[in-house]
């Protein structure tokens, strides 16, 4: 009997039918309203782990997944998902993602693995460089490109730390880290993303971050200067956030640059702009990130903010040549001018992740993306104003981009609840939301660094952050009415 397991010219129609069903299922999934329908139970997990010994028809697997897997999946594409911006719902982005899996180009090497993909990936990197204000130079080899595509912000931040390490003490790649305490990195206290600290441990620099206090979720510049002076010679890098993971605050980029360079010109300046680079698309908003172009490296995460599916990130370098410091050469497949594999530490075979960014960019255009980012920021401002006009909510952050951290406090003019009670009730609101699975807002602990409720207390706010262009004022009003209902039930 003809096998339908491996694609060949005779079973093309069968494959198409199956894949059409998958596409239909994926679209329906993304377009459903609820964030999640069901919760995975303990008893299901055992079954999930069972090894399939024999063949199952693909049609049966598709039916099984539709009925027994999808209801348990989280849908980041619904407007009701207001926890992260990663909607992944641009039609161009999804098309590019699907196609890249078909094409199976391997960006480790250009000549035989990815002949045109390499140049299109270079194009994407050059477009992103332009967006953040870096200059592009003529490209004659991979070291002129000024960036690399990675699997996520964590990967981009890790390569940035590797570059900072080499810049601090040349040949650490060869000699190893002898005295980790001499490879310190400064991050802002309480708002840094864990990927910096973790990557430093991964690359042998140990747990040597120094956390500098913040004001309004930005570096306290006096404290930053003091820390730089006290640790002179031992600081390899200062990391600034252009939209931190919690409050999406943009730091004082130009000021940080001046302070750091005045103390030690050799310190590597890294901007984690996984979110904030998106403002560079908008003529109206790009001044908010001015100064970013002064930094030595910039992490960007198109999969978070450009409505493209997971995963894709780009690390951009002010000086393209700096990637020479972490180059890997092997004549196995990489020794050629345009082999990206030479400059992508931690990564071997690499799929054409940038194709979905290329599709979305080409499809929407720079201007169109800028308009999407503007609408996204407007929606956050709308929510912020709405909350500020209501007596029962306090907004904790200045809304720079698209994050609104807020807490229910009863009556903000006369708070009678204890801090513990405020945290408990806000955690309870979140718990109820998660149980019902209709809406999703994020929650985490954060220091009340501007004293909106109680200076330096640990708070558990509800956090709105969306990147879904379908969100409207009505969607936000509905979500607030939903929270009001929960609060009412909690008080009954
Ligand atoms: C500011 C920031 N940097 C880095 C990362 C890590 O990115 P990824 O999840 O793509 O690895 C995140 C993720 O949320 C982030 O918010």
Which atom of ligand 1 is least distant from the CA of 244? Answer: 1
What are the two backbone dihedrals, phi and then psi, of residue 127, each rounded to the nearest 5 degrees? -65, -45
Spell out the per-residue pLDDT of the chain, length 492, in tens.
678 999 999 999 999 999 999 999 999 999 999 999 899 999 999 999 999 999 999 999 999 999 999 999 999 999 999 999 999 999 999 999 999 999 999 999 999 999 999 999 999 999 999 999 999 999 999 999 999 999 999 999 999 999 999 999 999 999 999 999 999 999 999 999 999 999 999 999 999 999 999 999 999 999 999 999 999 999 999 999 999 999 999 999 999 999 999 999 999 999 999 999 999 999 999 999 999 999 999 999 999 999 999 999 999 999 999 999 999 888 887 789 999 999 999 999 999 999 999 999 999 999 999 999 999 999 999 999 999 999 999 999 999 999 999 999 999 999 999 999 999 999 999 999 999 999 999 999 999 999 999 999 999 999 999 999 999 999 999 999 999 999 999 988
Give the residues across from 238 on adjacent strands: 186, 269
Collapsing DSSP to helix, strand or coil, 211 comes out as: strand
Cβ(73)–Cβ(36) below 8 Å: yes
- Cα–Cα separations (whole angstroms), residue 321 to 282, 354, 390, 484: 29, 21, 53, 55
Among 466, 472, 473, 471, which Cα is nearest to 86's?
466
For residue 188, the model assigns a pLDDT of 98
For residue 1, the model assigns a pLDDT of 61
Among 314, 321, 281, 278, which Cα is nearest to 298's?
314
Instruction: Please state the separation of Cα 256 from the chain's center in Å.
Output: 23
For residue 2, the model assigns a pLDDT of 73
> CA 38, CA 19: separation in Å to the nearest integer?
25
* Burial of residue 430 (number of CB atoms within 10 Å: 0-12, 13-18, 19+): buried
- Cα–Cα separations (whole angstroms), residue 435 to 33, 74, 150: 16, 13, 35
Among 427, 428, 399, 393, which Cα is nearest to 413's?
393
**Where is 447: in which H helix or E strand?**
strand 446-447
Helix residue ranges per DSSP H, 133-232:
153-168, 172-175, 194-202, 221-230
What are the residues whose beta carbons fall under 8 Å from the beta carbon of 302, sequence distance 6 or more? 128, 308, 312, 313, 314, 357, 360
Cβ(352)–Cβ(105) below 8 Å: yes
CA angle 281, 381, 222 (to 5 degrees): 80
> CA 297, CA 325: separation in Å to the nearest integer?
14
| Residue nearest atom 7 of ligand 1, based on CA coordinates | 153
Which atom of ligand 1 is least distant from the CA of 243? Answer: 1
- Residue 272 Cβ contacting ligand 1 at under 6 Å: yes
The 8-class DSSP code of residue 291 comes to T
- Residue 245 Cβ contacting ligand 1 at under 6 Å: yes
Q: Is the pTM of this model over 0.85?
A: yes
Among 218, 153, 270, which Cα is nearest to 400's?
218
Task: Give me ligand 1 centre to Cα 396, in Å.
Answer: 21
**Where is 252: in which H helix or E strand?**
none
For residue 335, the model assigns a pLDDT of 86
Task: Give me ligand 1 centre to Cα 84, in Å.
Answer: 11
- Residue 146 Cβ contacting ligand 1 at under 6 Å: no
- Residue 79 Cβ contacting ligand 1 at under 6 Å: no
- Cα–Cα separations (whole angstroms), residue 15 to 19, 64, 66, 69, 318: 6, 18, 18, 21, 46
Cβ(386)–Cβ(395) below 8 Å: no
Collapsing DSSP to helix, strand or coil, 152 comes out as: coil
**DSSP state letters, 294-337:** GSSEEEE-HHHHSS--S--EEEEESSGGGGGGG----TTTT-ST
Collapsing DSSP to helix, strand or coil, 220 comes out as: coil
**Where is 398: in which H helix or E strand?**
none
> CA 468, CA 461: separation in Å to the nearest integer?
21
**DSSP state letters, 89-121:** --HHHHHHHHHHHHH---TT-TTTT-HHHHHHH
Which atom of ligand 1 is least distant from the CA of 154? Answer: 11
| Residue nearest atom 15 of ligand 1, based on CA coordinates | 245
For 325-373, what is the HEC assignment? HHCCCCCCCCCCCCCHHHHCCCCCCCCCCHHHHHHHHHHHHHHHHHHHH
Task: Give me ligand 1 centre to Cα 199, in Å.
Answer: 12
Task: Give me ligand 1 centre to Cα 193, in Å.
Answer: 7
Q: Are strands 184-188 and 235-241 parallel, antiparallel or unpaired?
A: parallel
**DSSP state letters, 405-437:** EEEE-S-TTS--S-HHHHHHHHHHHHHHHHHH-
Task: Give me ligand 1 centre to Cα 272, in Å.
Answer: 9
> CA 62, CA 449: separation in Å to the nearest integer?
50
Among 344, 190, 343, 193, which Cα is nearest to 270's?
193
Task: Give me ligand 1 centre to Cα 259, in Å.
Answer: 26
What are the residues whose beta carbons fall under 8 Å from the beta carbon of 468, sequence distance 6 or more? 77, 78, 79, 81, 85, 87, 89, 307
**Exposure letters 296-310 (e unless 16+ CB within 10 A, then b):** bbbbbbbbbbbbbbe
């Amino acid at each position: 009997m003809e096998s339908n397991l491996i694609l060949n010219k005779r079973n093309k129609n069968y494959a198409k039918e199956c894949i059409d069903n998958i596409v239909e299922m994926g679209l329906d999934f993304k377009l459903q309203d609820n964030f999640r329908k069901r919760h995975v139970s303990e008893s299901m997990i055992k079954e999930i782990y069972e090894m399939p010994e024999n063949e199952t028809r693909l049609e049966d697997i598709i039916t099984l997944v539709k009925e027994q897997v999808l209801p348990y999946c989280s849908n980041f594409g619904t407007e009701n998902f207001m926890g992260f911006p990663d909607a992944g719902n641009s039609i161009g982005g999804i098309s590019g993602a699907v196609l890249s899996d078909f094409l199976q180009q391997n960006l480790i090497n250009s000549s035989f693995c990815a002949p045109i993909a390499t140049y299109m990936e270079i194009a994407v990197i050059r477009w992103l460089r332009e967006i953040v204000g870096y200059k592009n130079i003529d490209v004659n080899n991979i070291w002129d490109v000024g960036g690399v595509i990675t699997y996520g912000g964590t990967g981009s931040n890790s390569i940035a730390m590797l570059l900072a390490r080499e810049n601090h003490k040349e040949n650490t790649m060869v000699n190893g880290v002898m005295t980790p305490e001499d490879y310190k990195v400064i991050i802002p206290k309480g708002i840094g993303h864990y990927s910096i600290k973790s990557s430093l441990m991964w690359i042998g620099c140990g747990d040597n971050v120094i956390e500098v206090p913040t004001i309004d979720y930005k570096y306290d510049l006096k404290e930053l200067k003091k820390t730089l002076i006290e640790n002179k010679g031992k600081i390899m890098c200062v990391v600034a956030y252009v939209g931190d993971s919690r409050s999406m605050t943009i730091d004082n980029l130009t000021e940080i640059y001046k302070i750091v360079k005045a103390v030690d010109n050799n310190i590597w300046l890294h901007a984690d702009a996984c979110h904030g680079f998106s403002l560079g698309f908008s003529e109206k908003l790009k001044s908010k990130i001015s100064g970013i172009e002064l930094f030595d490296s910039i992490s960007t995460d198109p999969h978070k903010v450009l409505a493209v599916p997971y995963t894709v990130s780009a690390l951009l370098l002010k000086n393209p040549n700096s990637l020479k410091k972490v180059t890997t050469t092997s004549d196995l497949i990489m020794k050629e001018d345009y082999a990206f594999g030479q400059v992508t530490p931690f990564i071997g075979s690499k799929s054409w992740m940038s194709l979905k960014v290329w599709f979305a960019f080409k499809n929407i255009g720079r201007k169109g993306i800028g308009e999407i980012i503007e609408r996204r920021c407007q929606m956050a401002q709308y929510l912020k104003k709405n909350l500020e006009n209501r007596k029962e909510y306090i907004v904790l952050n200045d809304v720079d981009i698209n994050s609104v951290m807020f807490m229910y406090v009863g009556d903000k003019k006369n708070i009678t609840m204890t801090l513990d009670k405020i945290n408990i009730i806000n955690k309870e609101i979140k718990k109820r939301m998660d149980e019902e699975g209709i809406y999703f807002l994020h929650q985490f602990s954060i220091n009340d660094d501007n004293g909106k409720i109680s200076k330096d207390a640990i708070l558990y706010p509800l956090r709105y952050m969306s990147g879904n262009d379908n969100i409207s004022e009505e969607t936000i009003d509905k979500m607030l009415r939903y929270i009001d209902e929960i609060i009412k039930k909690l008080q009954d």
